[in-house]
């Protein structure tokens, strides 16, 4: 009897070890798919059947084992789906092994009820120990009732065995799973820590290797090179295996400059100075400093560098060495110039309309404000010309958006040919609308320019069968001119030109109109 009980306990322990290992992510990912929960229930159910092969016989009809604990464990790992499946499998196994007897039917019913109850408790109770204690108590309650139903008042002796086994076994398994879960968590944290370290190391190595334009050198406290990255090899023309193991100052520094700095430091300190001190003087713990130096490549070429130097220390006070990051100033200046050119190009692109190549609305607004201020300062007339492609929606509908884009480009080109050499700006105002600002330009001059634009567009002879004006693409143009004064704003001048454009459209399109007060 005792041997069978030990066998039951050993099997239970081994199975819990296996379950906890296979379900080690359960605590971090508690929401398992239903299919996986059924698998968990099936595994625990068949394990419960295995336990019955090593059960202890209390009398001719009653057996004692840990199958109830397997059901509770299934509820812990897989919820009510798992515990219900485990209970059904164990119930089926009990009847199959011992026949259809009152004892088997009672035990089977107990297994099914316990599967449902423990599953409900697992879902509703979040605290680990409360969940286990309530499940154990429920198991004891169900078994006590079943034994009383089966044996009557004589069941109390048998029930003592069940209470002792389920209570001790349940608490043992609860502690075991908790221990294994904590162990799995520690293993996971260790694995995560190792993975982070590997990622960090890989990243550092990648940065170290890929920084070919920057020299990275690490020395020990005596100044002997321990790390010499590919950027340092490229910068100084010295292979890493040759540089490592040698004192850095004597390897890369321009001799005359180094001697002068060393003499100056000796004069200031009034004592002999080691070569390394020339570099590290002024360094303080936790703070680096930057210097400008002249270094020498292996081929004798001198070049100016920016040196960033810092101490590398252990958590305590121990000095591990010095980290030097060296940037060739020549290359950095070239890079800065390249960056400035790129920024200028981006600035220009940001002020151009991507389709037509003329200035965009942002550039127009900025130029208008500047031109208005200049005109106000010198009491000069400022003119705004607005033009709109006639029946452009019909053109798009007829020739498609690609055709419409091509039309816009040609109109913009015509506009540039007329005003490109004038003192002003041509811009796309939006959609098929364009606008021109002309500085130091009076009303009659603006009207002449507007008419030139209209004729230039008409001369393109771009077919437009959907136009109600002409068989070719035409434009309507409106102009407005004024010397800035206190009661007038730049936007109001644009509004005047827009009103003149509207009048040109009303008068039949393919014409230019000048703004007249009152019209």
* pLDDT tens over the chain, length 519 residues: 556 656 666 776 777 777 766 766 655 455 667 777 888 878 877 877 777 776 666 665 566 666 777 888 888 878 888 888 888 888 888 888 877 877 778 778 888 888 888 888 888 888 888 888 888 788 778 777 776 666 666 656 666 766 777 777 778 777 877 777 777 777 777 777 776 766 655 656 666 666 667 888 888 888 888 888 888 888 888 888 888 888 876 667 888 888 888 888 888 888 888 888 888 776 765 566 788 888 888 888 888 888 888 888 776 567 888 888 888 877 666 666 767 776 776 666 678 888 998 999 989 999 999 999 999 999 999 999 999 999 999 999 999 999 999 999 999 999 999 998 899 999 999 899 999 999 999 999 999 999 999 999 999 999 999 999 999 999 999 999 999 999 999 999 999 999 999 999 999 999 999 998 765
The catalytic site residues sit at 432
pLDDT, position 514: 95
Q: Which residues contact 409 (CB under 8 A, 6 or more apart)?
A: 355, 356, 357
* Spatial distance between the Cα atoms of 119 and 113, rounded to a whole number of angstroms: 10
Q: Which helix (H) or strand (E) holds 104?
A: helix 102-124
CATH topology of domain 351-514: Alpha-Beta Plaits (3.30.70)
What is the pLDDT at residue 394?
94
- What is the token pair recorded at 91? 């119930």
Helix (H, G, I), strand (E, B) or coil at 351: coil
Matching residue, tokens 């069941």: 155
Tokens linked to 82:
């798992």
Per-residue confidence (pLDDT) for residue 317, from 0 to 100: 63
* Global pTM value: 0.40
pLDDT at residue 132, as a whole number: 81
Domain ranges in the chain?
A: 2-187, 214-333, 351-514
Structure tokens at 260: 């002068």
Pull the structure tokens for residue 266: 């000796």
CA dist., res. 213 & res. 4, Å (int)? 74
Whether 119 contacts 44, CB under 8 Å:
no
Q: How far is it, in rounded angstroms, from Cα 332 to Cα 328?
A: 6
Q: Which residue in the block uniquely carries the two structure tokens 């000095």?
A: 319
What is the DSSP secondary structure assignment for residue 92, as one 8-state letter?
A: H
Contact between 407 and 389 (Cβ < 8 Å): yes
Look at residue 519 in the predicted model and tell me its pLDDT.
Answer: 57
Q: What is the pLDDT of residue 352?
A: 87
Q: What pLDDT does residue 327 have?
A: 85
- Assess if CATH 3.30.450.20 describes domain 214-333: yes
Residue pair 501/476 in contact by the 8 Å Cβ criterion: yes
- Within 10 Å of residue 423's Cβ, how many Cβ atoms? 11
Residue count (the chain): 519
Fold of 2-187: Arp2/3 complex 21 kDa subunit ARPC3 (1.10.1760)
Please report the pLDDT score of residue 28 as a whole number.
47
In eight-state DSSP terms, residue 440 is T
């Amino acid at each position: 009897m005792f041997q069978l009980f030990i066998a039951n306990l050993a099997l239970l322990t081994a199975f819990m070890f296996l379950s906890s290992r296979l379900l080690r992510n359960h605590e971090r990912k508690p929401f398992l798919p239903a299919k996986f929960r059924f698998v968990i229930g099936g595994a625990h159910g068949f394990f419960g059947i295995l336990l019955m092969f090593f059960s202890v016989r209390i009398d001719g009809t009653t057996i004692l084992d840990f199958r109830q604990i397997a059901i509770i464990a299934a509820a812990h790992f897989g919820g009510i789906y798992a515990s219900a499946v485990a209970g059904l499998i164990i119930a089926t196994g009990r009847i199959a092994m011992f026949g259809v007897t009152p004892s088997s039917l009672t035990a089977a019913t107990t297994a099914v009820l316990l599967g449902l109850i423990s599953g409900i408790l697992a879902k509703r109770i979040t605290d680990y120990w409360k969940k286990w204690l309530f499940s154990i108590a429920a198991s004891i309650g169900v078994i006590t009732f079943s034994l009383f139903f089966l044996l009557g008042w004589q069941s109390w002796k048998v029930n003592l065995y069940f209470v002792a086994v389920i209570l001790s076994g349940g608490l043992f398994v609860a502690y075991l799973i908790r221990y294994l879960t904590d162990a799995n968590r520690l293993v996971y944290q260790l694995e995560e820590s190792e993975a982070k370290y590997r990622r960090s190391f890989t990243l550092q190595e990648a940065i170290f290797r890929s920084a070919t334009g920057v020299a990275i050198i690490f020395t020990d406290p005596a100044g002997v090179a321990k790390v010499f990255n590919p950027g340092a090899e490229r910068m100084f023309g010295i292979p890493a295996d040759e540089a490592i193991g040698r004192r850095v100052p004597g390897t890369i520094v321009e001799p005359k400059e180094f001697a002068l700095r060393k003499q100056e430091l000796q004069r200031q300190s009034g004592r002999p100075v080691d070569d390394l001190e020339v570099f590290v003087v002024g360094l303080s713990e936790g703070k680096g400093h930057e210097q400008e130096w002249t270094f020498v490549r292996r081929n004798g070429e001198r070049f100016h560098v920016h040196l960033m130097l810092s101490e590398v220390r252990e958590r305590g006070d121990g000095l591990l060495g010095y980290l030097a990051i060296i940037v060739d100033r020549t290359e950095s200046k070239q890079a800065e110039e390249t960056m400035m050119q790129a920024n200028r190009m981006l600035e220009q692109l940001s002020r151009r309309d991507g389709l037509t190549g003329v200035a965009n609305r942002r550039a127009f607004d900025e130029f208008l404000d500047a031109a208005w201020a200049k005109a106000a300062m010198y009491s000069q007339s400022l003119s705004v010309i607005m033009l709109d492609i006639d029946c452009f929606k019909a053109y798009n509908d007829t020739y498609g958006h690609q055709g419409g884009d091509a039309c816009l480009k040609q109109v913009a080109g015509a506009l540039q040919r007329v005003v490109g050499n004038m003192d002003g700006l041509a811009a796309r105002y939006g959609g098929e609308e364009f606008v021109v600002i002309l500085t130091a330009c009076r009303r009659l001059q603006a009207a002449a320019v507007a008419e030139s634009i209209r004729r230039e567009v008409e001369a393109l002879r771009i077919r437009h069968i959907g136009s109600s004006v002409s068989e070719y693409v035409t434009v309507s143009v409106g102009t407005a001119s004024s010397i800035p004064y206190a009661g007038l704003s730049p936007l109001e001048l644009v509004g005047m030109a827009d009103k003149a454009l509207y009048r040109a459209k009303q008068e039949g399109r393919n014409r230019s109109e000048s703004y007249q007060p009152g019209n």
